[in-house]
């Protein structure tokens, strides 16, 4: 069946692994809108951000002109434990679909944290350590980011305080236990440890929390403890920068094979894996050197791109973070209980939002039952049990491959397989039992949420 000369897996040698991250913003003519101070509505300054974030990460956040930023030696060494990740030709999936399309995926689940999030976690922990900090605080929704950060903090000897959305703290005890194994302190959010947590608990007794609440708590915890800063696992430009390692490796592997993808697909929660995967390809597109179709796939239950507004909004429920211009469903929007916890954020990366607004990429929303159908179809032939989040990209890749079949086209499709789904078996169980539902917000739900967007 390996009827063309492309191997099932393509790895780069250690010498071929990229040594600098690529900052996509450097090639954008029209840059993403600046973060604003919510009090003054003026662009935030480095000084303001440095109370919350590590100094070097603030520099990266505000730098939209330097194209390549060297990966520190220590981070490169850590990457070697699980990178380069393979670029896999999905021969078995192609055969199962009977498609003339050539499907490739870049697999990021090959580390103990189980997802791409470790790429940024190790970078952020490294800069915190280099600055001489005692520790970092963060939030986690589904638990993948908290897991990755716990691993990175254990490696660099940093304290790690994780505010975990209460419903997943209760539903995913094993995720919590992995974090504790790596030495992290895990608190269900909203908690009674912070002012914002106490206020949210008072206003909404019995609430099971949201990512927006947990972010507010983690930020408060960072600024109220000496020697601590806050770190975030997605959305921010610095996270997309670190995740560019995914796209740079994928591009280098394709160049080695002499192949060029036509369609590039990734799931989009806050936009970091997609932003990282597409970075060097989008760079070529922005510079007019090549063209690619780029597709963001989001859950129909949390459709930031396809039904959101492009507007300034708060990144968190407690309104302590800067305002960001992004596709948003509103900072008060609480998506229904979908099983792709990593895709339940109300907003989106400012960089991807601007590129989407410029029509440089497409977006589509898919319903979770169709996502799990794609996940199972993939798992049964490709030998990887995918995360529900990643399976959004699988759904779109299969749909594109079936379109190629209908049109008799031999297009090359690349998608990002961001992680494995071993901690999501309750979701798979619901799907297998036929009890999984698709919940979509109504137009009235969204209108109520848009009405609370800040007036900027």
Interface residue with ligand PLP among 271, 280, 335, 441 (CB under 6 A) is 271
Does the CA dihedral 130-136-139-144 come out positive or negative? positive
Least distance from C-beta 53 to ligand PLP, angstroms?
17
Q: Does 272 bind ligand PLP (CB under 6 A)?
A: yes
Give me 372's structure tokens: 């799990």
Contact yes or no for 248/155 (Cβ under 8 A): no
- Site mask for ligand PLP (CB under 6 A), range 314-353, x = bound: ----------------------------xx----------
The C-alpha atoms of residue 124 and residue 238 are separated, in whole angstroms, by 9
Q: Does 135 bind ligand PLP (CB under 6 A)?
A: no
Q: Does 269 bind ligand PLP (CB under 6 A)?
A: yes
The C-alpha atoms of residue 152 and residue 113 are separated, in whole angstroms, by 10
Instruction: Say if strands 135-140 and 228-230 run parallel, antiparallel, or are unpaired.
Output: parallel
The C-alpha atoms of residue 144 and residue 124 are separated, in whole angstroms, by 15
- Site mask for ligand PLP (CB under 6 A), range 396-435, x = bound: ----------------------xx----------------
The single-letter DSSP state of residue 253 is: H
Q: Does 273 bind ligand PLP (CB under 6 A)?
A: yes
The C-alpha atoms of residue 450 and residue 333 are separated, in whole angstroms, by 9
For residue 341, give the 3-state DSSP assignment: helix
Least distance from C-beta 13 to ligand PLP, angstroms?
27
Least distance from C-beta 205 to ligand PLP, angstroms?
29
Contact yes or no for 185/160 (Cβ under 8 A): yes
Q: Which residue, 343 or 394, is less far from ligand PLP as judged by CB?
A: 343
Q: Does 270 bind ligand PLP (CB under 6 A)?
A: yes
Give me 385's structure tokens: 């049990």
Contact yes or no for 447/308 (Cβ under 8 A): no
- Site mask for ligand PLP (CB under 6 A), range 176-215, x = bound: ----------------------------------------
Q: Which residue, 84 or 266, is less far from ligand PLP as judged by CB?
A: 266
Apex 326 CA angle, 324 and 328, nearest 5: 110
Interface residue with ligand PLP among 390, 413, 414, 423 (CB under 6 A) is 390
- Matching residue, tokens 């716990």: 150
Question: Residue 201's CB: how many other CB atoms inside 10 A?
Answer: 18
Q: Does 303 bind ligand PLP (CB under 6 A)?
A: no
Q: Does 144 bind ligand PLP (CB under 6 A)?
A: yes
Least distance from C-beta 273 to ligand PLP, angstroms?
3
Does the CA dihedral 316-308-48-146 come out positive or negative? positive
Least distance from C-beta 140 to ligand PLP, angstroms?
9
Residues 231-250 that bind ligand PLP (CB under 6 A): 234
Q: Does 111 bind ligand PLP (CB under 6 A)?
A: no
Rg (CA), the chain: 21
Piece of 25-33, 203-211, 387-395, 435-443 that binds ligand PLP (CB under 6 A): 387-395
Binding site for ligand PLP (CB under 6 A): 115, 117, 144, 234, 267-273, 342-343, 387, 389-390, 418-419
């Amino acid at each position: 069946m390996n009827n063309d000369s492309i191997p099932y897996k393509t790895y780069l040698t250690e010498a071929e692994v990229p040594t600098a991250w690529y900052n996509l913003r450097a090639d954008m003519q029209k840059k993403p809108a600046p973060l604003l101070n919510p009090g003054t509505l003026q662009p935030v300054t480095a000084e303001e951000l440095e109370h919350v974030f590590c100094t070097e990460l603030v520099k990266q956040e505000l730098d939209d002109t330097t194209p390549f930023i060297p990966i520190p030696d220590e981070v490169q060494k850590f990457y070697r434990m699980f990178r380069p990740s393979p670029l896999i030709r999905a021969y078995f999936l192609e055969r199962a679909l009977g498609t003339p399309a050539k499907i490739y995926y870049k697999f990021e689940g090959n580390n103990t944290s189980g997802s791409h999030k470790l790429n940024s976690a190790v970078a952020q922990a490294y800069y915190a350590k280099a600055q001489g900090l005692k520790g970092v605080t963060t939030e986690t929704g589904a638990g993948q980011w908290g897991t990755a950060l716990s691993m990175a903090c254990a490696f660099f000897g940093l304290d790690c305080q994780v505010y975990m959305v209460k419903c997943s703290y209760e539903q995913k005890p094993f995720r919590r236990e992995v974090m504790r194994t790596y030495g992290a302190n895990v608190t269900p959010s909203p908690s009674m440890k912070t002012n914002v947590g106490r206020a949210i608990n008072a206003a909404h007794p019995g609430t099971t929390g949201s990512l927006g609440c947990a972010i507010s708590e983690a930020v408060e915890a960072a600024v109220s403890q000496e020697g601590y800063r806050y770190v975030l696992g997605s959305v921010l430009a610095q996270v997309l920068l670190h995740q560019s390692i995914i796209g740079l490796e994928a591009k280098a592997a394709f160049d080695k094979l002499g192949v060029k993808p036509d369609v590039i697909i990734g799931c989009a929660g806050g936009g970091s894996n997609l932003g990282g995967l597409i970075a060097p390809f989008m760079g070529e597109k922005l510079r007019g050197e090549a063209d690619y179709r780029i597709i963001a796939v989001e859950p129909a239950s949390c459709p930031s791109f396809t039904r959101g507004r492009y507007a300034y909004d708060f990144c968190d429920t407690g309104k302590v973070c800067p305002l960001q211009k992004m596709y948003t469903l509103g900072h008060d929007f609480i998506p229904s209980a979908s099983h792709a916890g990593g895709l339940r954020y109300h907003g989106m990366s400012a960089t991807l939002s601007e590129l989407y607004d410029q029509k440089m990429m497409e977006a589509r929303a898919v319903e979770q039952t169709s996502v799990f159908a794609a996940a199972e179809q993939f798992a049964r032939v490709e030998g990887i049990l995918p995360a529900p989040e990643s399976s959004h990209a699988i759904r779109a890749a299969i749909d594109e491959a079936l379109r190629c079949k209908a049109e008799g086209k031999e297009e090359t499709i690349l998608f990002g397989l961001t992680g494995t789904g071993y901690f999501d078996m309750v979701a798979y169980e619901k799907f297998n039992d036929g009890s999984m539902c698709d919940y979509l917000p109504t137009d009235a739900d969204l209108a109520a949420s848009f009405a609370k967007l800040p007036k900027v």
